[in-house]
Structure 1
Amino acid sequence: MTTSEDISRCVPAHDAQALPVAQAQAIVRRWAQPVATAERVALRASLDRVLAEDVISPIDVPSHDNAAMDGYAFDGAVLADPASGPPELELEVAGQALAGHAFTGPVARGQCVRIMTGAPIPAGCDTVIAQEQTVRTGERIAFDAQKISRGANCRRAGEDLARGRAALSAGRIVRAADVGLLASLGVAEVAVHRRLRVAFFSTGDELRSVGEPLDAGCVYDSNRYTLGAMLARLNVEALDLGIVRDEPAALEAALRSAASCADVVLSSGGVSVGDADFTRRLFETLGDVGFWQLAMRPGRPLAFGRLWPTHRDDDLRPALFFGLPGNPVAVMVTFYQFVREALLAMSGAKVDAPLQLRAISSTSIKKRPGRTEYQRGVATRAADGTWLVAPTGSQGSGVLSSMSRANCLIVLAHEQGDVAAGTPVEIVPFDGLI
């Protein structure tokens, strides 16, 4: 069993008190191993699931040579030497081919077949002239032979996907276009990884659930709703364990219960150094600590490691644990920087880094070197196509409305200092991430 000490030796300059973001992400990647269980589901149930094996095409796509557009099919041999003959070529129309209704008669040299898009290319033909390039008079057509080459406008059998080739690879998250592709192959069901089970809860005596009276000094728990929404986008099996009070016995019971029923456990709040923050001490007792504090803002107090349901046992699979900060914006930022990738990897997906763009900061931004900062921003496109970005205003980690107004995160690197107006910065758009 790999320990946090083993992981630390694999990451240069490991400092559990203020670990740089890149090093912390490396630790998470090492511990986030895919679940092994797979199942077969009907094609209609495969959307957003992760393929557990390659899907091999049982047929050629297209299954036959066919026309790429409406026009006339003929033997392109008559175009072999257009320079030696008249530029205008005339052909006799011998019949018609429609999608689903092939022309099966003979096509002699000097003849052609009226053909529609998708219809099979008649035997003896290998070229299609577009309808708009011809002039038809009765049962004959004429066209400029110098404006078309042999083989034009024909889609060959198997040119899109050949029989026996992988149509989709293991690790792919099935999207709407993939469902259509598999249907076009006649595939009725696919093997997918089982959905990841993720348990989550909030901690704090001051928290109240939506719908409850708001007592003096209390706040509504937004983090569970935010986490539930973000988890829904990843198509995991989310288990909402509610609010856990700041009591050691209650927290221990919640952590053990969550670890016994889930692959990943997420908590929010209770991971800083306050007197009532019991989660950290319990975590150190119940699991293996990967790291505790990060050199980032927001999200410095982020706990990561493993939780054992009862006791350490090589026959048991521990749950990964993320102790997220209590501030709402910090919850979202740490989720997208650490949790999201881990959940995708454990789901068996091939994980691509979020899209990152370069934009020009339209205002100056204060930044202290020695930590990575993620500021909420609004990005726009200038008339010349250049991306421009400005912070949403107050960057306090409790200002959730600023996250709602933003459409991107401004990423300020670990070593970076203050940003002057007009300076390029990196941004991560929310589209495709949130």
Structure 2
Amino acid sequence: MAPDSRSGAGPGAAPVPPEEHLRAVLQLVRPLPPVQLSLAEPGDFAALHGAVLAQDVDAAHPLPLWENSAMDGYAVRAADTAQAPVDLQVLGVVPAGSGADPVLGPGQTVRIMTGAPLPSSADAVVRVEDTSGFHPGTVRINTAVQPGRDVRRAGEDRAAGAPVALAGEPLTAARLSALAAAGAAALLVRPAPKIAVLVTGAELRTPGSALSRGQIPESNSLLLAGLLAESGLPAATVEHCPDDPGLVRQRLDALGAQHDAVISTGGVGPGEYDVMRQVLEQEPEVRAVRLALRPGAPQCVGRLRAGALVFALPGNPVSAAVGFELFVRPALRALQGHASPRRPVLRSTVLRGWKSPPGRLQALPVVFDEHGGCAPAVDAASISHSVGGFGAAQGYALIGPDTSQVRPGDTVDVLRLQP
């Protein structure tokens, strides 16, 4: 769709509210088809970690599987310790991984290691530090214990059939460990989407190159590849393309056929040299928008004829980063089937005030103190090109369109990107 008043990009059109734009973006998303990966196959681990579950997973067996010892010590019948100190006969040892189930009679015990199955005839464990005088065949128990002391009950963590993880949850290291412990052998997941980054701009040069008047170092490829990596979504392809309509068209066609999503920076404004917007005008399912947002108002979004979703962001690095955080990241997470595509909005106390443009959502890069208070990382009057200060940013303060002045002590919404 070419820019027009319905898309929010035509002359005189009212800017599109960011929330409305995000809803439209998420409506474009069709979650990736799930694949089955094995927990037992080492080659599948890289794809499993960070993937998103496509179905609920229940425990195949109780957790723990059996009653076992929570400590190194001695498995006892609690009644035998009531008159402690008392000497008990040691029948042997039960290490972790043993299937032995020695029978304890009155006055008898076995040494037991942490995690080892508790003998069926025992009902408690005496910690090794509560014993003394060990001799071959006997041990002195110095402390009386009650039944159940230092015993992990079968199923006390999860009963067989109880849910362990739900569809839409990401597979973190801890969640993968829990699923393996609960008996899962294979998981139906949605893997990370295949993402391309396409940076445009005639003025851009490789970092470290000698610069002529009007030229600047190209940093958006590092920015977007880094933002993707920090979101657990590595970029499969990163390219730079000159501001040539034919070349841009060629690269969009190729990348769109080989990837699930293409993210571009630069050339989305209304000017005669804004090549990305001009090329995307020929895409019937892509629309240009002007958002009620600062920074990052001009953007293009939609689905390429080649198949991939396309997110065309402004060339200014801070504007591109804001567009990524507010719209692209949620869409990519929805593509992977995340139950919660958006980052949670937190509240923060303002340490140093600033002005905000009325009628627009302001996404101001901020830093946080040790108590969670926030202060601007950049000059609020020139956010989009304040790359130097942006390097220290830990998140964004989100200031609504009805606020023009933010004062110290105010409480504001924030997105926290770093701890």
Contact kept in structure 2, 1:93 and 1:141, CA below 8 Å: no
2 CA distance for matches of 1:241 and 1:17? 34
Q: Which runs of 5+ in 1 are unaligned?
A: 10-14, 80-85, 310-317
Q: 1:151 to 1:319 in 2, by over 3 A?
A: same
**What is the distance in 1 between the residues matched to 2:140 and 2:265?**
74
Give, as a single letter, the amino acid of the residue that structure 1 aligns with 2:241: I
Match in the other structure for 2:358: 369
State the one-letter code of the partner of 1:414: P
> What secondary structure sits across from 2:355 in the alignment?
coil
The structure-2 alpha-carbon separation of the partners of 1:356 and 1:141, relative to structure 1 and needing over 3 Å to count, comes to farther
Residue in structure 2 matched with residue 360 of structure 1 by the alignment = 349
Matches within 5 A, 1:278-317: 278-289=275-286, 292-309=289-306
Equivalent of 2:35, from 13, 34, 38? Answer: 38
Q: How does 1:151-230 map to 2 (within 5 A)?
A: 151-184=148-181, 189-210=186-207, 213-230=210-227
- Following superposition of structure 1 onto structure 2, how do residues 270-281 of structure 1 map, counting pairs within 5 Å? 270-281=267-278
Q: Is the 8 A contact 2:125 2:149 kept in 1?
A: yes
Q: Is the 8 Å Cα contact of residues 89 and 107 (structure 2) preserved in structure 1?
A: no
Change (3 A) 1:398 1:97: same
Alignment-derived partner of residue 50 in structure 2 = 48
Paired residues of 1:27 and 1:290 also in contact (CA < 8 A):
no
The code of the aligned residue for 1:345 comes to A
Could you say what secondary structure the match of 1:287 adopts? coil
Which structure 2 residues correspond to residues 21-170 of structure 1 after superposition, within 5 A?
21-40=18-37, 42=41, 43-45=44-46, 46-76=48-78, 90=86, 92-95=88-91, 96-101=93-98, 104-133=101-130, 139=138, 141-143=140-142, 145=144, 148-170=145-167
* Residue 232, structure 1, aligned to residue 229, structure 2: yes
Displacement of 1:212? 5.1
Q: Quick check: 1:241 aligned with 2:230? A: no
Whole-angstrom distance in 1 between the partners of 2:416 and 2:111: 49
Q: Which of 389, 392, 398 is the aligned partner of 2:377?
A: 392
- The SS at the match of 1:394 is coil
Residue of 420, 426, 429 corresponding to 2:407: 420
Q: Are 1:344 and 2:342 matched, yes or no?
A: no
Work out whether residues 269 and 324 of structure 1, in 8 Å CA contact, stay in contact via their aligned partners in 2: yes
User: 2:264–2:311: 8 Å Cα contact kept in structure 1?
Assistant: yes
Shift of 1:143: 4.9
Aligned position for 1:331: 320
Which stretches of structure 1, 4 residues or longer, exceed 6 Å deviation after superposition? none
Shift of 1:236: 4.2
**RMSD across aligned positions (CA):** 3.2
TM-score (norm 2): 0.83
What CA deviation, in whole Å up to 9, does each residue of 1:309-338 have, x standing for no partner?
A: 2xxxxxxxx422211011011111110111
Contact conserved, 1:91 with 1:112, CA < 8 A, in 2?
no
What is the deviation of 1:213? 4.6
1:12 maps to: none
| SS class of match (1:274) | coil
Distance 1:360 1:28 in 2: 31
SS at 1:342's partner residue?
helix
CA shift for structure 1 position 188: 5.8
Counterpart among 398, 413, 418 of residue 411 in structure 1: 398
The aligned amino acid for 1:404 is: G
Q: Report the counterpart of residue 82 of structure 1 in structure 2.
A: none
Q: Distance in 2 between matches of 1:237 and 1:421?
A: 39
Is the partner of 1:286 in helix, strand or coil? coil
Residue 322 of structure 1 is matched in structure 2 by 311
Question: Residues 172-209 of structure 1, C-alpha deviation per residue, up to 9 Å, x if partnerless?
Answer: 32222234344545656544324412222122222223
Aligned length: 401
TM-score scaled by length of structure 1: 0.81
Q: In the alignment, is the contact (CA less than 8 A) between 2:241 and 2:248 conserved in 1?
A: no
Shift of 1:263: 1.9
Q: Provide the C-alpha distance between the structure 1 equivalents of 2:402 and 2:73, rounded to a whole number of angstroms.
A: 62
Residues of 1 paired with 2:14 and 2:75: CA distance?
A: 73
